[in-house]
Structure 1
């Protein structure tokens, strides 16, 4: 007597890597900004003046002599 043949399935998994290349590019722009700063220095000065006046409002009294009839 012979039994029927048993069937077995053996599965082998083979991994294959398929590379997908997606190229990219970056451009760096260095922008130099030049700022022109204009200065206008200004100085200021102050002059203080002082003026004097001597007003002769009559003849000065001479302490050595008494005043005359008209006050001098």
Structure 2
């Protein structure tokens, strides 16, 4: 008996199967709200600048020896 001949294999394209598992997940969405009441206080600062004036009269005195024979006294009447 002769040995059997073996041919190269014939490969069919792979068949692709998909198993789908579905899981339900609940995602809570929370939408908080907040109200802020703002009380605004306004301060009006009024600035007053009262102004006064004064006058100063400066007086100077000069005593001159006009030839008095004696040493000068507070007033020699020259």
Question: TM-score under structure 2 normalisation?
Answer: 0.43
